[in-house]
Every structure is written in structure tokens, then in C-alpha cells.
Amino acid sequence: MRKVYVIGVGMTQFGKFPEKSFEELGRVAAWEAIKDAGINPKDIEVAYCGNMMGGSLFGRDFGVGQLVLREVGITGIPIARVENACASGPTAIREAWIAVGSGLYDIAIAIGVEKLTGARKGVTAMVGDSIEGVSGLTPAAMWAMRARKHMEKYGTTLEQLAKVRVKNQKNGSKNPRAQYQKIYSVEDVLNAPMLSDPLTILHACPVTDGAAAAIICSKRVAKKYSSHPIQIAACSLKSGTYPTLRDISVNDLETRAAKEAYEMAGVGPEDISFAEVHDCFTIAEICRCENLMLCKEGEGGRMIEEGISEIGGALPINPRGGLLAMGHPIGATGIAQVAESVWQLRGQAGARQVQGAKVALTHCSGGFVDDDNGAGSVIILKK
Amino acid sequence: MRKVYVIGVGMTQFGKFPEKSFEELGRVAAWEAIKDAGINPKDIEVAYCGNMMGGSLFGRDFGVGQLVLREVGITGIPIARVENACASGPTAIREAWIAVGSGLYDIAIAIGVEKLTGARKGVTAMVGDSIEGVSGLTPAAMWAMRARKHMEKYGTTLEQLAKVRVKNQKNGSKNPRAQYQKIYSVEDVLNAPMLSDPLTILHACPVTDGAAAAIICSKRVAKKYSSHPIQIAACSLKSGTYPTLRDISVNDLETRAAKEAYEMAGVGPEDISFAEVHDCFTIAEICRCENLMLCKEGEGGRMIEEGISEIGGALPINPRGGLLAMGHPIGATGIAQVAESVWQLRGQAGARQVQGAKVALTHCSGGFVDDDNGAGSVIILKK
């Protein structure tokens, strides 16, 4: 495998756009990434499209990548859809990374697009024929139980959980592409309508439509088009059991992905300038900072309490606003994390800039409580 | 890219199994491929699962690959689902080929699994929100129009179309895994119930459940485990427009994929010992033999008429029975074609053996009439 770089990124506004098509969302993200890279769409040799629910929600059983990329004049080349639950976006990045790293192609696009509004059925249908679907154990209910367990085991408080939303919302307020840009107080979060006790709706990420894209290339191409290419120093994907109720905090899946990524990139958690962590719920950010070894086991609550994870803190987490403020258009999320990382590492993140950022970590995990059905991804990007 | 080999293949019986789960189908195929390769499941480092309609038909929006492979003890490793309409299977093969070719992994599994029976809605739902879905232009209607056009333009006859089914059924009668193993006459095909004039139901492949798998590895591993590894000499994937009604026979998408594959493998159509061609309809085999340059434009009818494509003919087409006799479990089909090719190239195809087979070509295409939404794959395997 040769070295692989990101030279262009793009994304849509994230939000609820029931009237917008896959094509419209994808076009905006792809075009921005292409312009950002300074390449011609015809230079792109291979494409991967992350999308999870197009078939289930919209009968888009195939052709999502093809029809989206046609909008920017990309056709003829190999285009494949990849899906890996909430890690569908990073799986698209990963396949592009391997395709370029193999030497088979010099320029790839990874695009993620998801529409979760405007369908005839609701997105909770996603639990399908799994144990959760049959028993009614929704993601909110699962994370509520995890929150209780974390509070009981490590003394984490509801206020600490609420502070995750407050922090990410504060970051999101500086991000014009965030679905919610309003600042919330701890009280706002605690007093919002109850979703699944003890989690109110403000502990959960919203339902969102959006797209994101990245142009991935070889060193030769990166040098030609960019004075500030960002290296994909590691791109780890693991399968396994999504956090269970038995082992609430230390999740083997995420930890294994992180360990491999640190080793591949030749860095440790102490070298990470900031991280984009899959905060589908406030408690998820806390658990996952622990799993990714960004703090010690049980200290996720303290991390937020002491301001460590704020922009300006020792290890900023989710400077773009995370899933909580940005929303979570599933196939797009992991690529949007990479887009934010590229902007941050270039020093282009404006009011939410992490000063001196050199190494970024992005993380996504997906799955349900059924053993071994999960996917966990960790990407490390270097300036 | 280093050289890549197939050392083990497996597949289920193809047929209608509404009571069987994804896991049960996948387990049978994966386990056979693993045993055939002589490896331990724990040796497998990366996995790709081709599946198209799990989300749409069964709410299996994610985890298909993970849950299927868990059945044979494969977990922890990177597992990704890939989808590319009817080319989902070869897309799984292709990603495994790139992952091993890149040097990142030594052993991969590509598995395809599809359940089309047992769902609450029918599979014609797959046309979704496309032009065809809205207008009621089903695949059968499209291929019926293509058949009319081919007959008008090239003098192809209904009897020639029927002979494609007769031939593939004769081949399928020698394949214990075929969904239909009965021998049909030309009259049987012509007099069957009308599906979409002039195509009767026997001109179309049936609705099918099934799974297939292949173990893909580096030269070093191939030498260790196999005395007869089969090389993946080419693995081409292209996007573009699926055959339109304007250009019925010469299809740019398929021809481009074939040209790249021939060039990559360093062979020409004249070197192909036999081909597995995506015969979703009888007319499709005829058009596609032309598109793949296995015969001249307009001579697909003559190819079947003169027995050229029979086992024992100059260029056997679909010795396993094709989609017509085998059925078409979408995500599994392209991998089943590779499995057949491996058995043929090893001389293990029993009563349907193509004598002296040295080079095999497999082809899948998917998409609908909407411009540019298609995927076309050609794989060339060498003894």
C-alpha cells in the first residue's frame, strides 16, 4: 500500500430537506469537493458511495452512487455502493483508500448521501427483523440503559451528559452547516421532553438529510493539485459486538479499531489534536472517548466536566458540533467528519478552529445489541 | 497491484426457500468455500458481502455480512456490504481482489447472499422511484421490447430466443444446484404462459434465494493451500447506461467492461474457453454475447442456432445453466458464476464439464433504462 491523501472535501447543509432528492444533495457535496481539490470531474477514476437506507426507505435499491455522480458529470468509471450501518461513510473512504493505495487508481471520490425525511415510513423501521425490532428496543432505549449503567458504575451524572450536548451545540453554533445552531443550557437539555428515561430528546442526535464527499488520491496527484494535502495515516475497520449492556463502557469493537489505527499511523492517543467521535447520544460520546483511549475508562464524565473536550481544551471532541448539532445523515456522517478534519488541519475551520491542529481522529460505529453485527471505524488524518 | 487467486468456492442449492434465513444460506456457501480452500475461518482477514435487497425486502438495512459470517466463526475483521444492482456479487469479488492486490491483506472472502422469497412485498418493488417504477415498465417489459427490436433489426427469431432457454436448461439439468433441472423443448418455451409479449415466462429467469462465496488470496497463500489455484486475471467494473431501446444490441457499458478486462488479462475473445453471461432473459444472453464481443453484432441468434454456445460447441455459454436454469439470487449470482468457472477450470464440473477449459469469462450487468444508472462487470479467470 502506497501513501494516500485527501485533497478536496465538500458537504451540504445538514438538515431536514424532505423535498430534496439524493441527486440534489449529492451534487452539492461532490461538486464542492471537486472544486476544493481543483481537479476536473473527468480526472476521477473510481467512486464509492456510502448509503444505508435508500432501498428500505425510498425503494432506491441500487444506482444511488451512479445517479448522484451523474449530476457532476461522473459516469463510466467503476462506482460501487458500500454500506456498514453508521460506519457506511468511513467504509466508502476506506475502499477509496485501498483502491488508491493499491496503485490501481490515482484519484477516487468517496461520497456519502442519506435521506431520512420524506419517506412514507419512519426511520425507526431500521431495526428491522433484529431482536430490537421485535422487542421494541429502539436505539434511544438502548442508550438510556447504557447511560444508567455508566452513571451507576462510574458516578457519571446527568448534568455531565447534558454538558456534552451543551458543548457540541456551542461548537455547532459556529458551524453554518449544522442542523441546529442554537446554544442550549444544561437546563434546556435536562428539561426537554423525555425520550427514553433518563435521556430527553436533546440527548439524541436528530433525524437528518445530507451528503458529504472527499477526493482521495496518490502522493503524485496530491503534490500536483495541493499545497496542503492531508494524509490518511490510518483507516481501520473492524466488525464485532456493538456495546452490550454487560460491558457498557469498554467496547472491544471500538478499542480494536482504535488500536489498529494508532499503530498504523504510528501515533498514540496523546498525539491526537482533536477527534470527531460518533456522538449519536450524549452518553455515546462519553463511552466512546473511553473506548478510543482518548481518556481512561470511567473518566468520560470528568473529561466533559473539566472542559478537556472543549475547543481550547486539551483534547477537543467534535469541534464541528458532532452528530448532536450537525445531525446524522447516516451514509454521509463519517465523510463529513473527514471533511471537518481536513478543514481543521488546513486551518480553515473559522470560529471553531482548533489552534495548531496536526493530527485528527474520526470515529463511527454502528450496529445493535445482537452479537457481532456491528462495524467500528477509526480514521487518522495527518497534516 | 500484485497477482490475486481464488483457492476456494462454495454455494448453496439455488431455489425458493422462504423459510431459510440469510444466515442459513450464507453459512452453507461460506463453509463450503472455506473447506474447499482448506483454510481455517480465522485465516480470513477481510470480507465483502454482496447483497442488494435485504433492506428493502426484509428491513435488513445493515449487518447482513456480519451476521452471515458469524455463522462460520468469522468476526472481528473488516466486513463491508457492497451493492451494485445485479453486479453486486462481482463487486464483492472486485473489492476483495483490490484489498488482496493492494498487499494490505493476504486472504479475503467474497460472499453474496440474497433472499427474494418470504418477504411481505414482491420483488418487482425493486423498480422503486425510477422512471420504470412510476410507469410500470418492468424488467420483463423492457426486455420484451429489446427482443422485438433485435428480431426486427437482425432477423433474430423467437425460436432462437427459445433455444437459449433450451440450451441453458439442458446445462442446468446436469447441475444439481440449479433451481430448475428439467429439460424444455422449444415448444415448451414458446407455449408457456405469456409474461410480456413476445416473452413467455420461460424466457425469464425465476425468483430465487441463494448464496455463493469465494476465497481470494495472494500468490504466496495460493501456493501454500492449493495445487490448482485459479488466477483472477482481470476484474473490470464500469458504470453507464444499461441497454437502451435506441441501442439495443451494442451496449457501451458492457463493451467497455469487456475491453478493459481483455486488455488487463492479456487475452482476446478468441482465447475464452467458456463464458458465464448474465442471461436474466433469453434475449439478454444473445445481446450480451454481442456486447462482450463473443460474437459479432447481430450474430447472437446465429450463435445459438448453430450450436456454438452449447457445451461441446466452439464457445460454450452458461455451462452451469445460467440465470435461466440456476435462478438469480441477485447478490449471489456473480459469485456463483466465479464458483462455476473455478470448478470448470479445475475440471471438476462433472457432466457439464467444458473439455480443456483454460480461460473463463464471467459477466453481470444491472440497472434500468434511466441513463447512466447501470453497472457492468467482467471477470476473467485463468487456470
Alpha carbon distance B132, B147 (integer Å): 18
Mean pLDDT of B307-324: 98
Count of structural domains, chain A: 2
Residue A126 domain-assigned?
Answer: no
Alpha carbon distance A278, A256 (integer Å): 16
- Residue B145 and residue B201 share a domain: yes
Can you name the residues that pair with A272 across neighbouring β-strands?
none
- Residue A245 and residue A351 share a domain: yes
Q: pLDDT tens across A26-59, in order?
A: 999 999 999 999 999 999 999 999 999 998 888 8
Residue A270 domain-assigned?
Answer: yes
- Residue B252 and residue B211 share a domain: no
Residue A128 domain-assigned?
Answer: no
Alpha carbon distance A273, A360 (integer Å): 6
List of residues 6+ apart from B20 with CB closer than 8 A? B115, B209
Nearest to B32 by CA among B3, B82, B72: B72
- Residue B223 and residue B192 share a domain: no
- Residue B108 and residue B149 share a domain: no
Instruction: Find the CATH number of the domain harbouring A163.
Output: 3.40.47.10
Test B80 with A70 for CB contact under 8 angstroms.
no
- Residue B332 and residue B223 share a domain: no
Average confidence score pLDDT of chain A = 93
Residue B126 domain-assigned?
Answer: no
Q: What is the DSSP letter of B276?
A: E
Residues from chain A that touch B367, judged by Cβ atoms under 8 A, are 62-63, 66
Test B55 with A55 for CB contact under 8 angstroms.
yes
Catalytic residue from among A150, A203, A278, A328: A328
CA angle B297, B302, B303 (to 5 degrees): 85
Q: What domain range includes position B160?
A: 132-206+233-382
Residue that has been written with the C-alpha cell 423498480 in this structure: B127
Which of A44, A83, A368 should one mutate to test binding to chain B, selecting the residue with the greatest count of B CBs within 10 A? Answer: A83
- Residue A78 and residue A27 share a domain: yes
pLDDT of residue A125: 46
- Residue A239 and residue A226 share a domain: no
Closest residue to B102, CB basis, from A59, A101, A366: A101
* Active site annotation includes A49: no
Q: C-alpha distances in angstroms, A2 versus A168, A218, A268?
A: 36, 8, 22
- Residue B88 and residue B166 share a domain: no
Q: Are B223 and B349 in contact (CB under 8 A)?
A: no
Residue B199 domain-assigned?
Answer: yes
Q: pLDDT tens across B55-86, in order?
A: 888 888 899 999 999 999 999 999 999 999 99
A230-240 and A374-382 strand pairing: antiparallel
pLDDT of residue B132: 57
- Residue B219 and residue B334 share a domain: no
Alpha carbon distance B315, B113 (integer Å): 29
Give me the count of residues in chain B.
Answer: 383
Closest residue to A62, CB basis, from B61, B83, B133: B83
ipTM: 0.96
Residues from chain B that touch A60, judged by Cβ atoms under 8 A, are 128-129
Q: pLDDT tens across A121-147, in order?
A: 666 545 555 555 666 678 888 899 999
Mean pLDDT of B354-373: 90
Alpha carbon distance B103, A144 (integer Å): 43
Q: Which amino acid is at B122?
A: G
Residues from chain A that touch B130, judged by Cβ atoms under 8 A, are 63
- Residue B238 and residue B343 share a domain: yes
Single pTM value for the model: 0.97
Can you name the residues that pair with A240 across neighbouring β-strands?
A374
In this structure, of B4-18, B62-76, B152-166, B364-378, the range with the lowest mean pLDDT score is: B364-378
Q: Give the residue numbers of B annotated as catalytic, written as ranges.
A: 86, 328
